[in-house]
Amino acid sequence: FAGYISQVLKNYTDHACDGEYVSLRCPHRTTISIQSSFYGRIVPSHQMCPSRYPHSYATLIKEDVACSVGTSLQKMLDECQDRRSCQFLVNSRLFGADPCPGTGKYLIVWYKCRPNEYKSKVACEDDKLRLSCKKSMVIAIYSAIFGRTQGGGLECPYQNPGMPM
């Protein structure tokens, strides 16, 4: 049980170079929850995903190390979100227009494994939040946020400190 809990609460990172398969997997009774994603190149090829070309040719072309695709997160959400596993071939066609032709790119994905069954609680600022569970059960906090969620509904009323209640 402890091993299962540590797998669920763990943050996972996986990466794959162009032409390789990326494979995300979560344990039984959990699904993939994509946290973040990057596709492009921000480090030189001698540090990650070396060029497939001979070294002499690679020095002739200027490698772009400021290259990224804005659709990476949405594509990962489309491919893998809420599935137990997903696998696909990484290449620039998957992400739309190639931002830096001639530069080998890579995908990095950060994800967690969300339990199929979970409870969520909300407490507003200055409120107390009480968590409890049945005897012989264990509380495991999967994630927590302080503040307002981006694009989420207003779960706590907005209070202007200068205005009377």
Which pTM value belongs to this model? 0.68
Domain count, the chain: 1
Domain presence at residue 160: no
pLDDT tens digit sequence for 106-163: 999 999 998 877 777 888 888 888 888 888 777 777 677 777 666 555 677 665 555 5
Q: Does some domain include residue 158?
A: no
**Domain presence at residue 17:** yes
Contact yes or no for 118/50 (Cβ under 8 A): no
Q: What is the pLDDT of residues 22-73, one digit of tens each?
A: 999 998 888 999 999 999 998 887 788 887 655 545 454 566 778 899 999 9
Domain presence at residue 156: no
Q: What is the pLDDT of residues 71-81, one digit of tens each?
A: 999 999 999 99
Question: Which amino acid type is present at position 44?
Answer: P
- Give the CATH number of the domain where residue 42 resides: 2.60.120.740
Beta sheet of 12-17, edge-to-edge order: 12-17, 106-115, 30-41, 67-68
Q: Is residue 153 part of a domain?
A: no
Q: What angle do CA 95, 97, 103 make, to 5 degrees?
A: 90
Give the range of the structural domain holding residue 73, as residue numbers without chain letter.
1-115
Residues forming a β-bridge with 68 = 40
